[in-house]
A and B are shown apart, each in its own frame.
With several copies, the nearest count.
Chain A
Amino acid sequence: MNNLNAIIESLLFASDTALTIDKIKSILETADRKAIREALTSLAKEYESAKRGFFLTEVAGGFQLRTRPEYRQWIRRLKESRPTRLSRAAMETLAIIAYKQPVLRSDVEYLRGVDSGGTLRTLLERRLIRVMGRKDLPGRPMIYGTTKQFLELFDLKDLNELPTLKDLKDLGETWPNVSR
C-alpha cells in the first residue's frame, strides 16, 4: 500500500463523519485533488476485491468506511451486547440507595423530589438493587438495598469500600493544571 493510500485510510478509519475530498485536501495540505480521488478509488477497489470486513462508500458528499452489510447480524450482536450507560435518574437513585440503605421508596423520592417508581423498577430489573423487606406501615412499603451485582459493577469487595463524602473532601480540590 502506498503512503498516500495508507494515510487516507487512517483518516477514513479515525473519522466519525464522512470525509470530503476538500477536507482531506486541507488536512494533507496538498493541492492535488486528483491524487486524492485516485487514492480513494484504489482503496475502494481493494476493499471490494479482497472482500474486507468494511467497504468505502460515497455518502452525503463525502467518503466513509462502513462495515460490509453481509455481516450485519454479527455487528448487531456486538452492538447489542455493548454496555449501556445508566441514566442520570438511575445514578441518583442508585447513589441514594447505596448510601442510605436500607431505605424506603418514599425516602428516595423525598431526596430526589420526584416520583422514582420507574427508576426503581429499572434498577430492580438490572438486579442492582433488591427488596430487603417491607416496613410495617400502611401499605407495607418496600425497603430497598443494593445487591452483589452492585458490588461487582463498581468492583467493590463490600459496601465498606464505598467512598464516603469525607474521603472525597480529604482529597481536596481537583488539581487545576492537569495539562500544563
Chain B
Amino acid sequence: MEQIQDQAPYRVNLEEIFDGPMDLLVHLVKKNEVDIYDIPIALITQQYIEYLEWMKSLNIDVAGEFLVMAATLAHIKSRMMLPTRGEEGDEEDPRMEILRPLAEYLQLKYAAEDLMEKDRLDWDVFVRRDFDGTEAWPDEEPGNLIQVSLFELIDAFQEIIKRVSPEYSWDLTPDTISVKSRISQIADILEQRSSVTFQELFEAQATRGDIIVTFLAILEMAKLQLIRIMQHLESGIIRIFNE
C-alpha cells in the first residue's frame, strides 16, 4: 500500500494500483501469509471490503469489477456459515468458486514473471539493426516479400474513412464480410475451372447461414457481371460461368 501514501489531489483508478480484483485478492492472501488452499474467507472478505472503503475515502475510483468480487466473497462467506444440508459431506467447499480462478490466475502470474526474467530483446540483448534506417520486421512467411500487419491495414482503412465524407456508407458487419469472403472463394473456384454447378457451391455448406451467404454472394457476382448463370434445358442443372 506504500505507493498511495501521498494522498494525491487528483482522482486515480483502482486499476492503476491493482490490475484487477484478482490482483488485489492475491495481495491480501500474500499479506496475510495464508494458504490459498485454505483461505480464511471471513478475514479476507473483511480486508477486501475495508480496502475498497479506504480507496473510496482517498477519492480513488473503484471499478465495477472490484465490487463484483466483493459480492462474490461475501456470498462465499455466507455460504460457509450455513450448515451443510446433506450428511454425505460431499458438498463442495464454497471457496472453490474463488480458489479455482485464483489458482489459475496465480499460475499465469508466475509464468509472466518467468517470462520477464528471460533475456529480453532490446533490453538485455541487442541485435544489429539495419543501416538504411528501415525498421526490421522479421519474416512472417518464408518467400513472402511484403510485410505488413493486419493492424496497419485497418489503420489505413480507418484513416480513409475519417477523410471521406461521413455520408458514405460503410456497411462493414461480419455478415457483409462473409459475403465478400464467399465471393472471393467462388472466384477462386472459377479461376481453377471455367464453370461450377450451382449444386456444388451449396454442397459443402452446412448451415442455413452459410447457404444464405452463398446465395447472396452469387447474386452480387451476377449483378456485377462477374459470372453468368446458365441452366441446362434438359437436365435442369444450373451452372455458373466465369464472365
Contacts and interface: CB of A to CB of B under 8 A. Distances in A.
Contacts of A76: 123
B224 A143 contact: yes
A52 interface: no
Contacts, number: 293
Interface of A is mostly: mixed
20 contacts: A66-B119, A88-B19, A89-B19, A91-B153, A102-B224, A111-B164, A112-B160, A113-B22, A135-B224, A152-B141, A154-B120, A154-B149, A160-B174, A160-B181, A165-B157, A165-B170, A168-B154, A176-B106, A176-B110, A178-B27
Contact of B125 (A66, A133, A139): A66
B112 interface: yes
B19 A16 contact: no
Nearest to B33: A173
Residue in A65, A135, A178 with the greatest tally of chain B CB atoms within 10 Å: A178
Interface of A: 13-14, 16-18, 20, 22-23, 57, 60, 64-69, 72, 75-76, 79, 81, 83-86, 88-89, 91-92, 94-96, 98-99, 101-102, 110-115, 124-128, 130-136, 139-140, 143, 145-146, 148-149, 152-156, 158-160, 162-166, 168-169, 171, 175-180
A69 B117 CA distance: 12
A102 B182 CA distance: 11
B103 to A, nearest CB: 6
Nearest to A141: B174
A114 B120 contact: no
B177 A164 contact: yes
B141 A153 contact: yes
Given A164-B172, A166-B173, A155 B142 contact: no
B65 interface: yes
B16 A178 contact: no
Nearest to B152: A91
Contacts of A96: 108, 157, 160
B183 A163 contact: no
B126 interface: yes
B73 interface: no
Given A110-B101, A164-B172, A175 B156 contact: no
A145 B154 CA distance: 17
B21 A114 contact: yes
Given A92-B19, A156-B118, A158-B181, A166 B112 contact: no
Interface stretch (B39-47, B85-93, B129-137): B129-137
Residue in A69, A110, A176, A179 with the greatest tally of chain B CB atoms within 10 Å: A176
A88 B22 CA distance: 13
Given A16-B128, A86-B146, A126-B146, A114 B15 contact: yes
B160 A95 contact: yes
B161 interface: yes
Contact of B122 (A57, A81, A131): A81
B238 to A, nearest CB: 19
A165 B65 contact: no
